[in-house]
Amino acid sequence: MAGVPFDQREGEIWYDGTFVPWSDAKLHVLSHGLHYASAVFEGERAYGGRIFKSAEHTERLHASANVLGFEIPWTKEQITAAKEEVLARMNLVDAYIRPIAWRGSEMMGVSAQHNTIHLAIAAWEWPSYFAPEERLKGIRLDLATYRRPDPATAPYKSKAAGLYMICTLSKHEAERKGYADAMMLDWRGQVAEATGANVFFVKDGKIHTPKPDCFLDGITRRTVIGLAKARGIEVVERVIMPEEMAGFEQCFLTGTAAEVTPVSEIGPYNFEVGEITKALMTDYDAEVRPDTPALKSAVG
């Protein structure tokens, strides 16, 4: 269904505990979540009919809502079961799953403590986030104008809708320039993340990645760190300044949508798609598709 607008697709969406036709999954234009970004969501992938780390994503959805000051009125077990039912009713095997919770429309204003909390779960087929041929040779990133904010100014531990506004602006600007995505610094001028994925660098056989102290410590990020350590590769979480990118040999992004994606360029800095990056691409593929034999690698 590539190219079909998301409000015109076929199927069903789980909406507040029941299934509704895809086209009927609507909310009022005066919903608080639309006007004041009081919404949290998750991005999840299913491989071979199995939702990867579903329970961890559900846990984070509840935690994100708590950070924004509301409680989702469905238990973690109910949400996890609902995701499975969505996948089955949509007859999907390899898919993207999007749960989202938001404040409704009882009150319109900054304060909306008594608004109903809604929850919806949709799923659809999902191709590679970046074009396959581009991904294999390494994607090109612009350097974003906007920066990840100071934790004192934004609830960065929540996967909250409002935090993605500057990501959309940065990615749009990068795409207008011919790049696939953008690398964002944080408010201190340190390397942070791409617009929807965490970043890793390789130098002298070690992996270096920014400390997630103002952006999400991604579930895929943690998975890949575990895979690297299982290979005996040292992973260093530390402050990384942008000028250090000149000395790194490899670079890759991680995320539910991006999986493990090599990077060939960030602004003036260039990288090779090296053996450690290729090994982790293979390892991650084997992790999410456990029934597929892993390919041998020269690393580890």
Please give the share of the chain, as a percent, with pLDDT higher than 70.
Answer: 93
pLDDT for position 165? 97
Give the chain's mean pLDDT.
93
Cα 246 from Cα 269, distance rounded (Å): 6
Residue 299 lies in a domain: no
Domain identity same for 111 and 151: no
pLDDT, residue 134, reads 64
Encode pLDDT of 251-274 as tens digits.
Answer: 999 999 999 999 999 999 999 999
**In-domain check, residue 298:** no
Provide the pLDDT confidence category of residue 133 given band limits of 50, 70 and 90. Answer: low
99 and 146 belong to one structural domain: no
Question: What's the pLDDT band for 4 if we cut at 50, 70, 90?
Answer: confident
Is it the case that residue 108 has pLDDT exceeding 70? yes
- The mean pLDDT value for 86-114 works out to 95
Can you give the residue range of the structural domain that contains 90? 6-125
Confidence of residue 128 (pLDDT cuts 50, 70, 90): low
296: in domain:
no
Domain boundary among 125, 157, 174: 125
Task: Quote the pLDDT of residue 42.
Answer: 98
Q: Which of 86, 104, 125 is the last residue of a domain?
A: 125
Residue 296: pLDDT band (50, 70, 90) is: very low
CATH of the domain at 105: 3.30.470.10
Evaluate whether residue 293 is within a structural domain: no
Q: Is the pLDDT of residue 1 over 70?
A: no
* Spatial separation of the C-alpha atoms in residues 94 and 154, rounded to whole Å: 34
* Pairing relationship of beta strands 139-143 and 259-266 according to DSSP bridges: parallel
Q: Is 263 in the same domain as 225?
A: yes
Pair 88, 220 in one domain? no
Compute the half-sphere exposure of residue 212: CA atoms within 13 Å on the CB side of its CA.
Answer: 16
Looking at the fold, whether 66 and 195 belong to one and the same domain comes out as no
- pLDDT tens per residue across span 167-218: 999 999 999 999 999 999 999 999 999 999 999 999 999 999 999 999 999 9
Predicted pLDDT at 145: 96
Q: Quick check: pTM over 0.85?
A: yes
**39-63 residue pLDDT tens:** 999 999 999 999 999 999 999 999 9
Q: Given this model, what pLDDT does residue 126 score? A: 83
Residues 139 and 274 in one domain: yes
Check whether residue 111 and residue 248 sit in a common domain: no
pLDDT band at residue 3 using 50, 70 and 90 as cut-offs: confident
Catalytic residues: 159
- Domain tally for the chain? 2
261 and 143 within one domain = yes
For the chain, give the secondary structure using H, E and C: CCCCCHHHCCCEEEECCEEEEHHHCCCCCCCHHHHHCCEEECCEEEECCEECCHHHHHHHHHHHHHHCCCCCCCCHHHHHHHHHHHHHHCCCCCEEEEEEEEECCCCCCCCCCCCCEEEEEEEEECCCCCCHHHHHHCEEEEECCCCECCCCCCCCCCCEHHHHHHHHHHHHHHHHCCCCEEEEEECCCCEEEECCCEEEEEECCEEEEECCCCCCCCHHHHHHHHHHHHCCCCEEEECCCHHHHHHCCEEEEEECCCEEEEEEEECCEECCCCHHHHHHHHHHHHHHCCCCCCCCCCCC
Say yes or no to pLDDT of 132 above 90. no
Q: Domain boundary residue among 59, 93, 125?
A: 125
Q: Is the pLDDT of residue 295 over 70?
A: no
Do residue 198 and residue 281 come from a single domain?
Answer: yes
- Is 300 a domain residue? no
- Checking if the pLDDT of 298 tops 80, the result is no
Same domain, 140 and 282: yes
Residue 136 lies in a domain: yes
User: Do residues 136 and 284 both lie within one domain?
Assistant: yes
294 in a structural domain: no
Q: Residue 110: its pLDDT value, please?
A: 94
Residue 150 lies in a domain: yes
Flag whether pLDDT at 127 surpasses 80: no
Question: Tell me: the pLDDT tens digits for 279-289?
Answer: 999 999 999 98
State whether 161 and 259 are in the same domain. yes
Give the pLDDT of residue 129: 54
Per-residue pLDDT at 140:
97
Whether pLDDT at 2 is above 80: no
Which CATH number is 216's domain given?
A: 3.20.10.10
